[in-house]
Structure 1
Amino acid sequence: MPAQTYDVIVVGSGNAGFCAATSAKENGASKVLLLEKSPESWAGGNTTFTAGAYRTVFHGLHDVLPLVQNVTPDMADKIDMESYTEQDFMADIQRVTNNRSDPPLASILVEESNATTKWLAKNGIKFQLSFNRQAYKIGGRQKFWGGMVLSVVDGGKGLTQQHQLNARRRGVEVRYDSPAVRILSNPLGEVVGVTVWQKGSTTYDVLSRGGVILCAGGFEANPSMRAQYLGPGWDLAYVRGTPYNTGDCLRMAINDLKAKSTGNWSGCHSTCWDANAPTDAGDQKLTNQFTKSGYPLGLMFNVDGVRFVDEGLDMRNYTYAKFGREILHQPESIAFQVWDANGTSWLRSEEYADDVVEKIRADTLGGLAEKLRKKGLKNTVAFVASLREYNNAVKAYKQENPNAIFDPSKKDGLSTRCSSGGLQLDKTNWAIPIVKPPFVAVKVTCGVTFTFGGLKIDPETSAVISESTEREIPGLFAAGEMVGGLFYNNYPGGSGLTSGAVFGRKAGRSAAGRSIALNKLATRAAL
């Protein structure tokens, strides 16, 4: 039986893959095939396990209100929201990546973020203002913070479902349980299709006129590749999302097609993760709820009873993707987040509700230390001493700065440092005393989300660049986590989904255009 032929083939059913397929369809590709390695029950890849947040340029509340479905006129009057400009977005990317992010790639992401979220909304993605994660109610007003305000209704699970509905509306053919095991090319070096494995240990070829778009994620679910590229101990990190992102397409593109690799191959997005979560894949019901990002409101200790990060270094959006790495490097790769009654009152229920996480409670710091000893804390004396030293430093700062006010919606400067000294490791914002019982702790570990190393692409077309020629590999495109060069060591929260959408959209447009052009050439040749 001859191989089936499509205008465009997309590999991977996450946010980037569905964006690429949608874009190909609307740009003239009549036959689009999306291949997914996993069964349909795991559709969406890592997208399903996100909070569904998109970081985008916006010009005030009026710019985002037409996109959202959860704001009444009365509510809008009580919202404080500053614009987030292209300069703000670019500055955040370069700041958190230590100026390593590829400038042309980052510029495209920033410049097209606003238009792309509006394009998503036109394609059935239902946005809402992220009150639950990106705003605090202070003085009767909702104060948004961290430069990110949009999320998708029902989070990552809702995003995947909405993408699936849109693909069906547009006539995209989706095949699950269909991993691509080989990328096909012709003698001219043009990518012309893929070989697909199907149940029963058989394979078949599907061909593409316009090319193949790789959106199959990184290698975060592959323990041996994590240890090889991220370093010792990373094979023990918990997998936050899908177990199907094992780096297969990265290896095929690099080894078989000589695609150029780029970016931070020893870096990844890794967050504070519930130590009681599954180890090798995310939970499909709780998904992102295993994230434990309330540390700016409290403290984190390792098993030796010692703090190891400045919990108030920056807004959560700019630290949560790198603090998982710090936990992994601690003894036994675990830590304890700690708050008092005042701190716990600010925690988000989706991450810290009693039915989501195991909380260890006590009415005294000593009592909390004893309970944590049974959970792995080795030095209870150091733990209590560190807490008391912290409380004394907070008190000293407050005495010197009596007008300083706690405000979790901005970097408030409440610190453990004053003219008389401070801690060896200061907390530089949101340093409030931990003195009011009950005291609460949660045990966390490192959850790896996605890897930063990937393929070099042309920012304008999403075409993959050849290691040999430094030119585009004809017919090969990439988007999503497979793109390298954007993120180094860290990333601004919410920019991953935005990147997948921006470059997925470009890849779909480019592949569709290539298919149309080649079809025209073939028609002329036949005349």
Structure 2
Amino acid sequence: MAPFSTDILVVGGGNAGFSAAISAVESGARRVTIIDACPEEWAGGNSYFTAGAFRAVHHGLQDLLPIVNNVDAETASRIDMKPYTSDEFRHDIDRICGGRSDPMLSATLINDSNDAIKWLAKHGVRFQLSFNRQAYEVDGRLKFWGGMAIKTQDGGKGLIEDHRRIAKSMGINVLFSTAAKRINIDSRTRSVRSVVAIDSNGSEQEIHTGAVILAAGGFEANPRMRAQYLGPNWDFAKVRGTPYNTGSCLEMAIRDVSAKQAGNWSGCHSVAWDANAPSNAGDRLISNEFTKSGYPLGLMLNLDGERFVDEGVDLRNYTYALFGRAILSQPGNAAFQVYDSQTIPWLRDEEYRDGVVEKFTSPTLEGLAIQLSKNGLRNADRFIETVTTYNDAVAAFRRENPNTKWDPAVKDGLSTQSRSQSLPLAKSNWALPLTQGPFLAIRVTCGVTFTFGGLAVDPNTAAVISSTTNSAIPGLYCAGEMVGGLFYGNYPGGSGLTSGTVFGRRAGRAAAAEVSGTRYKL
């Protein structure tokens, strides 16, 4: 492979990488190249496997209608959608991340979020209101909940399709099966000079460039690094997305340019995931449908027949990225989600439809326990006792609070905790009794999505910070999952794609300014 040069080199072809490349061209860079370690059939990184949700500040329905393509006038008249303010976004990040999120990084994410989705839409990314995931029809009204209302058409698949179309129209060159191996620094200027890449045949190629933007994902597909940083049993977690996010670019930046490490290296986004899903990579056809996030509508019991989380502690947007870890820590790294006929119709079809998930059903709870005993349940009697005790607690609450109404679109306060009877582990909201057959159970495990530890960056330019000088490394930028310091322990759902675009866009602008020798403009 002969050496070649490009104005800006982007490493990684997910949403963050494409956002950076598009921004760079828009900002005046003439030659922009994306390299990706994956073959073309794996294009899109983890972004391909998402539901395409973007969390963004908005001013209500009228603010979003101009950029969505799935709302007619009649539908719009039935939508209830409150504005999602900057203060609410800030409160959600502070609450969900335990106050640890870097305040400057999160401020950038919040303040840029609305403009970021409109910028993508302007370039041709197709957005829709997320009726299937973020709205319930209650009393004839389509009620949006959880602060998140928008997604890309066809989810992550559609997002990557749009990004690739836009990149092609802008002349952005994309090279697959080309993995970054080494960053070379100019010894005189201490700025990035080139990247050595390796192709699928093992041939090396030096790519000379004026700036590099790292957007190659975390280490979620590397079982060694998961066990090393996340802790015991994390090598057993199933990989939700691309098998090519192995952390190699994180290690490369730390090794070659002393990039400063930042953030929650023992934390990650992990979800309740179909126990029968592939172990080491996502399925590009089924994709995000392996997610099993209906647990607020029912109960989760481990293989010993015991509950282990408060399924109703918060809206699903704020717990789904956390509960995978809880499942992984259970006996056998697995659990059962259990529902009855009251809530089965409310489960999202794309996650719970026949052909996607193995279902265990029975007209009676006892019959369901017998079935589950043949599929991993270790204590059927305890299983029945747990559900029965839960039902009794729900009934006691109902007797004391007869006017409390079940409403899946808000934290309805319908719980297991009353003066006469309370459970040691509450279900704080949406506590309906599991009494009406037929009953349904789904076996789930932990699916790891992305890791939170990464590189320290300047929040204005997304420039990577040096651990030796504590200042920006000239010519090196970072976006997407590789940015450290934003999420801790958990994250507000939909913030990942938004972060990728916000910091990718800033990195593209800053890199283009550096290459052209002009002043960077926010």
Shorter-chain TM range is over 0.9
Per the alignment, in what secondary structure is the counterpart of residue 282 of structure 1? Answer: coil
Structure 2 equivalent of residue 57 of structure 1: 57
Per the alignment, in what secondary structure is the counterpart of residue 132 of structure 1? Answer: helix
Amino acid at match of 2:204: T
5 Å-filtered alignment, 1:33-182, equals 33-182=33-182
Amino acid at match of 1:64: L
Q: Deviation at 1:147? A: 0.3
Structure 1 equivalent of residue 191 of structure 2: 190
Determine if contact 2:416/2:428 at 8 Å carries over to the other structure: yes
Q: Percent identity?
A: 58
* Structure-2 separation of matches of 1:394 and 1:107: 41
* Structure-1 separation of matches of 2:149 and 2:49: 19
RMSD (CA atoms): 1.0
Amino acid at match of 1:72: D
5 Å-filtered alignment, 1:391-430, equals 391-430=391-430
Per the alignment, in what secondary structure is the counterpart of residue 345 of structure 1? Answer: helix
Listed as ranges, the gaps of 5+ residues in structure 1 are 520-527
Q: Work out the number of aligned pairs and report it.
A: 518
Structure 1 equivalent of residue 201 of structure 2: 200
5 Å-filtered alignment, 1:280-291, equals 280-291=280-291
Q: Deviation at 1:3? A: 3.0
Structure 1 equivalent of residue 341 of structure 2: 341
Structure 2 equivalent of residue 27 of structure 1: 27
* Structure-2 separation of matches of 1:198 and 1:2: 12
- Of 196-205 and 230-239, deviating more is 196-205
Listed as ranges, the gaps of 5+ residues in structure 2 are none
Structure 2 equivalent of residue 525 of structure 1: none
Amino acid at match of 1:206: I
* Structure-1 separation of matches of 2:13 and 2:297: 36
Q: CA 1:400–1:27 in structure 2 vs 1: closer, same or farther (change >3 Å)?
A: same
TM (norm. structure 2) is 0.98
* Structure-1 separation of matches of 2:350 and 2:39: 27
* Structure-1 separation of matches of 2:303 and 2:205: 52
Determine if contact 2:397/2:418 at 8 Å carries over to the other structure: yes
Structure 1 equivalent of residue 442 of structure 2: 442
Structure 1 equivalent of residue 254 of structure 2: 254
5 Å-filtered alignment, 1:506-525, equals 506-517=506-517
Q: Deviation at 1:55? A: 0.2
Amino acid at match of 1:23: S
Residues 251-279 of structure 1: CA deviation (Å, up to 9, x unaligned): 01111210000000000000000000000
* Structure-2 separation of matches of 1:426 and 1:252: 46
Structure 2 equivalent of residue 488 of structure 1: 488
Residues 174-214 of structure 1: CA deviation (Å, up to 9, x unaligned): 000111111111103211221111233210101112x1000
Structure 1 equivalent of residue 313 of structure 2: 313
Amino acid at match of 1:17: G
Amino acid at match of 1:77: S
5 Å-filtered alignment, 1:220-369, equals 220-369=220-369
* Structure-2 separation of matches of 1:189 and 1:21: 24
* Structure-2 separation of matches of 1:73 and 1:114: 23
TM (norm. structure 1) is 0.97
Q: Deviation at 1:2? A: 6.9
* Structure-1 separation of matches of 2:319 and 2:232: 22
Amino acid at match of 1:283: D
Residues 44-103 of structure 1: CA deviation (Å, up to 9, x unaligned): 000000000000000010000001000001110000000000000011011000000000
Q: Deviation at 1:518? A: 7.7
Amino acid at match of 1:28: G
Q: Deviation at 1:163? A: 0.2
* Structure-2 separation of matches of 1:257 and 1:183: 7
Structure 2 equivalent of residue 522 of structure 1: none
Amino acid at match of 1:249: C
Structure 1 equivalent of residue 505 of structure 2: 505
Determine if contact 2:125/2:152 at 8 Å carries over to the other structure: yes
5 Å-filtered alignment, 1:466-481, equals 466-481=466-481
Q: Deviation at 1:297? A: 0.2
Q: Deviation at 1:315? A: 0.2
Per the alignment, in what secondary structure is the counterpart of residue 7 of structure 1? Answer: strand
* Structure-2 separation of matches of 1:193 and 1:489: 35
Residues 363-406 of structure 1: CA deviation (Å, up to 9, x unaligned): 11110000000110000000000000000000000000000000
Amino acid at match of 1:274: D
Structure 2 equivalent of residue 523 of structure 1: none
* Structure-2 separation of matches of 1:423 and 1:2: 68
Structure 1 equivalent of residue 390 of structure 2: 390
Amino acid at match of 2:167: A
Runs of 4+ displaced beyond 4 Å: none
Residues 95-138 of structure 1: CA deviation (Å, up to 9, x unaligned): 00000000000000000000010000011100000000000001
* Structure-2 separation of matches of 1:200 and 1:102: 41
Determine if contact 2:292/2:351 at 8 Å carries over to the other structure: yes
* Structure-1 separation of matches of 2:288 and 2:190: 41
